[in-house]
Every structure is written in structure tokens, then in C-alpha cells.
Amino acid sequence: MTASRIPRMALAFAATAFAIPGIGHAADPYPSRPITMVVPFAAGGPTDVVARSVAAAMSKSLGQSVVVENRLGAGGTVSASYVAKAAPDGYTILIHHNGMATAPALYSKLPYKPLSDFSFVGQVADVPMTLLGRHDLPANTLPELVSYIQKNQNKVNLANAGLGAVSQLCGMLFQKAIGVELQTIPYQGTAPALTALLGGQVDVLCDQTTQTLPHIKAEKVKLYGVTTAQRIAALPNTPTLREGGLKDFEVKVWHGIYAPKGTPPAVIDKLDGALKAALKDPAVVSRMQELGAVIVPEDKQTPEGLRTWLASEIDKWSPIIKAAGVKAD
Ligand code: ASP
């Protein structure tokens, strides 16, 4: 063995030792090519906006692009089922919201099990919702909206992003709270639903501050309240729906990042490290502030933080959805 071959062999050994088992060529360190982050709702909407900000920052620490791909349909379940069946190699990941917890109660034939068909990366950020009406709706306050709806039940419709979307959950709770059933109009995300509200084609919509704040500020929509238990910093003078008389009303949107079940722990560690770095990135921090989103504490930005939270959300919402009698199939 010549002296020059020894270091080459040592290098080859080191590359193999530090490569992640089961990922591409043994000598390819993860990630060696772009990663796809699947988003379940329309481009330009609230989930997409959070995803793109975090994906761009994760790309920096991973040294590879994290490319957002919008796979629309069935309130987010199309995307979740696509990622559940993807190769568990860290190159296909999912960002999803509360829909991961509500789908099992809504869909009897759900083709994946949220708690057992995924590996968990971590939680991302929480976003409040606002209850909005089209700008020329005669009601100006929540009590006026409730009495308007009660008198015009057959004329008022409610937009949402499909069964499994948080806009659907929020709308369902709203209808229960005021004791009416409205015609609902599903879109493939609240980006198109908000466009329809702005165009006056639909009457009422529950949607995240991440996309509603500019339209609220420009007075292009009527604002009836925030869906969180407390008022929010971005809209300090806007009452909560609770303050407006809807007892115990609370919906906030949370986000988690998932990988297919069986993704190697070393890959999950890398993704989680990149998520944590992204959530400290000044570009993400200021973007989230501007959107009214709150980055979760670091102990939630972890696989266990997400898994525990998802389990508690499934336990919380399943009985509420079942009692409301809402079913997708
Ligand atoms: N805001 C949507 C929802 O209602 C999702 C989206 O379009 O991002 O769940």
C-alpha cells in the first residue's frame, strides 16, 4: 500500500461512517439533493405563506433547497396521504395544521393514521383567525351579524377550505354557537376563498391573520372578531368572539412538520435542527410578527413536542366533531 492511498481509504471510511444509513449512496451525506415540502392548501394562502418562509430559512442550514409543492384537495388529506406513502428518506416532508388532528373524525376512510404513519419533526408557529364578512354585508358587529344570519339564514353562505381545513372547523363551531346551519362553499385553500369574499361572491369566512390583516386594515372586509381566547397584539381593539357573546369559542391554527414513518432518526435530527435554526432566523422572526403568527417555544419545535400536541388535539376535537355530526364520507 502506497503512502498516498492510505489517506484516501481513510477518507472513504470516514464518509461511510458519517453517512446516514438507508439514504441514497452510502457516501452521500443527507441532504444531497433538494427536499420537497408538501403544502396541503393553495399557493399564497395562510399555510403556504408560513411554509415558504420556514422552507427558505431551512434551506440555508441544510445547504439544499427546500422546495414548496402545493398538493390540493380534500381539506388537506390529499397531501397528508401523499407524504405518508412517500419514501422515508427525508426528501419529502409535509407541513400541515390542525387538519392533521381533525381529519380522523371527519373521514371514515382516511388512508393514513396521523399518529402512526408519520415521523415527527416539530411544531412551527401558531396563528390566530379572524371572522370576516364581505365588505357590504349590512352587519357591523358580531351581535349584528348573528341577528342578520338568524333572519336571513337561507341567503347567507360560508366559505371554507374544505372538510379538514381550520376554516371549516371555525365555521362549524360558529354555526353551532349561534344555532344555525349555513350553506358552505368549499375552496382548495382560503386564498381563493378570500378572493371570493373580496369579490362579494361569498358572505362569511373564518381565516388566519396571516392573510387577512392587510384586507382588514384596508377595510376591504368586515371584521367581526378574533377567534382566540384573548385579544391579539396585531388587532388590539378587536374583541374576541367570546367577548362578542360566543361562550368558550376558541380556535387557533398550529402547524407541524412531518416526514413519512420510518425516516431515519439522523435525518429527523437534521430536519429538526434546521427547523429550530429557521425559527431563530431574523427573516422568519420578522415575517411571523408581521403576519400575526407566534413562533412556538423551543420545546415544541421537537418531534416529541409535535407528537404529544397532535395526540392531545385528536383527543380534543374528535368528540366535538362527532357531536356536531359533520362527516366527509
Ligand atoms: N386557511 C386554510 C384553512 O382554512 C388553509 C389555507 O388555505 O392555508 O385551513
Residue 235 lies in a domain: no
CA distances from residue 219 to 146, 148, 177, 269 in whole angstroms, order as listed: 20, 20, 26, 44
Ligand 1 probe mutation, 166, 194, 206, most atoms within 8 A of CB:
166
Q: Domain check: are 42 and 100 in the same one? A: yes
Estimate to the nearest angstrom the gap between the alpha carbon of 98 and the chain centroid. 6
What gap in Å lies between CA 141 and CA 158, rounded to an integer?
Answer: 17
Q: Domain check: are 297 and 315 in the same one? A: yes
pLDDT digits (tens, 9 = 90+) for 171-205: 999 999 999 999 999 999 999 999 999 999 999 99
Task: Return all residues near 29 (Cβ < 8 A) that are at least 6 apart.
Answer: 15, 18, 19, 20
Distance from residue 164's CA to the centre of ligand 1 (Å): 9
Atom of ligand 1 nearest to the CA of 168: 4
pLDDT-derived band at 1, boundaries 50, 70, 90: very low
Number of domains in the chain: 2
Is the CB of 167 inside a 6 Å radius of any atom of ligand 1? yes
Residue 272 lies in a domain: yes
Q: Domain check: are 170 and 208 in the same one? A: yes
Residue 104 lies in a domain: yes
Distance from residue 103's CA to the centre of ligand 1 (Å): 14
Q: Domain check: are 50 and 137 in the same one? A: no
Atom of ligand 1 nearest to the CA of 206: 4
Residue 199 gets the label, from left (phi > 0), alpha (psi -120 to 50) or beta, of alpha
Query: Which residues form the domain of 77?
Result: 33-126+252-324
Distance from residue 305's CA to the centre of ligand 1 (Å): 23
Residue 4 lies in a domain: no
Q: What is the DSSP string of 53-111?
A: HHHHHHHHHHTS-EEEEE---GGGHHHHHHHHTS-SSSSEEEEE-THHHHHHHH-TT-S
The residue whose CA has the least distance to atom 6 of ligand 1 is 189
Q: What is the DSSP string of 24-59?
A: SSTT-PSPSS-EEEEESS-TTSHHHHHHHHHHHHHH
pLDDT at 4 over 70: no
Burial of 325: CB neighbours in 10 Å, binned 0-12, 13-18, 19+: exposed
pLDDT digits (tens, 9 = 90+) for 93-109: 999 999 999 999 999 99
Q: Domain check: are 136 and 97 in the same one? A: no
Domain CATH for 50: 3.40.190.150
Is the CB of 207 inside a 6 Å radius of any atom of ligand 1? yes
What is the rounded average pLDDT of the residues 103-128?
Answer: 96
Is the CB of 31 inside a 6 Å radius of any atom of ligand 1? no
Residue 191 lies in a domain: yes
The residue whose CA has the least distance to atom 2 of ligand 1 is 190
Q: Domain check: are 218 and 78 in the same one? A: no
Is the CB of 278 inside a 6 Å radius of any atom of ligand 1? no
The reply to whether the predicted model has a pTM over 0.85 is yes
Q: Domain check: are 179 and 256 in the same one? A: no
Burial of 286: CB neighbours in 10 Å, binned 0-12, 13-18, 19+: exposed
pLDDT digits (tens, 9 = 90+) for 319-328: 999 988 888 7
